Amino acid sequence: MSKPLKVVAVSGNLKRPSRTLTLTEALLAALGAVLPIEAQIVELGEIGWQLSGTATRADVPAAVEQQIRAIEAADVLIVASPVYRASYAGLFKHLFDLVHHEALIDVPVLLAATGGSERHALVIDHQLRPLFSFFQARTLPIGVYASESDFRDYEIASPALRERIALAIDRAAPLVRAVAPSTTHSTAASLAA
């Protein structure tokens, strides 16, 4: 791999401090420790207020358009959402409603979520995987779920969560290594032309 992979991490947090953002940053750091990456974080809390009044891609402000284009041009995505009423956040879904439906074909996506208790852990397989299957993205084998008890003062406090992060990255790294920046996004590049 000659060039660093463009990794875009989307954090569905709507406020700060955020456990979701903490988890997103930890996954990004763990991936960066094993692979050369060029990282960018898209924080829903920073752009959500601009998204809430947009119905179509043509309506989004330039700053949001840049974030959407970054998602579409990523070699790898890390996507994390807090769980609200057994699903991802509505604005999180709206952001991905604006992403071109062919832009993420074959893009590896590491899924993550945070919630108040363990009872929401299936959100990764029941909500996030189907969303990214629609995009024909390659969801990576192990998602990472973290509950409120895994954190203390918005910092990771659980050794078990750290182990889940390490395992997810360990299982993802060989699949992500196979992605060469020169061969990804032929579809996205043609969409932008």
The answer as to whether 71 is a domain residue is yes
The answer as to whether 94 is a domain residue is yes
The answer as to whether 128 is a domain residue is yes
Domain hosting residue 169, numbered range: 5-188
pLDDT digits (tens, 9 = 90+) for 131-142: 999 999 999 999
Summary mean pLDDT of the chain: 91
CA distances, 59 to each of 62, 64, 69, 159 (Å): 9, 10, 14, 44
Listed ranges 87-96, 120-129, 157-166; the one with the highest mean pLDDT: 157-166
* 32-41, 124-133, 174-183: the lowest-pLDDT one: 174-183
Tell me the C-alpha distance between 54 and 165, whole Å: 35
Residue 189 pLDDT grade (very low, low, confident, very high; cuts 50, 70, 90):
very low
The answer as to whether 161 is a domain residue is yes
Residue 2 pLDDT grade (very low, low, confident, very high; cuts 50, 70, 90):
low
Residue 163: CB partners within 8 Å, gap ≥ 6?
none
The answer as to whether 193 is a domain residue is no
Residue 187 pLDDT grade (very low, low, confident, very high; cuts 50, 70, 90):
very low
Q: What is the pTM of this model?
A: 0.90
Give the residues across from 111 on adjacent strands. 79
Cβ atoms of 150 and 121 within 8 Å: the answer is no
Q: Residue 22 pLDDT more than 80?
A: yes
What is the CATH classification number for the domain harbouring 58? Answer: 3.40.50.360
Residue 92: CB partners within 8 Å, gap ≥ 6?
10, 12, 44, 81
Our CA dihedral for 8, 138, 4, 63, rounded to 10 degrees, sits at -20
The answer as to whether 125 is a domain residue is yes
Total structural domains within the chain = 1
pLDDT digits (tens, 9 = 90+) for 50-77: 988 898 999 999 999 999 999 999 999 9
Number of H helices, E strands in the chain: 8, 8
Can you read off the two tokens belonging to residue 185? 């996004």
Q: What is the pLDDT of residue 56?
A: 92
The answer as to whether 136 is a domain residue is yes
Cβ atoms of 188 and 107 within 8 Å: the answer is no
* 25-34, 101-110, 183-192: the lowest-pLDDT one: 183-192
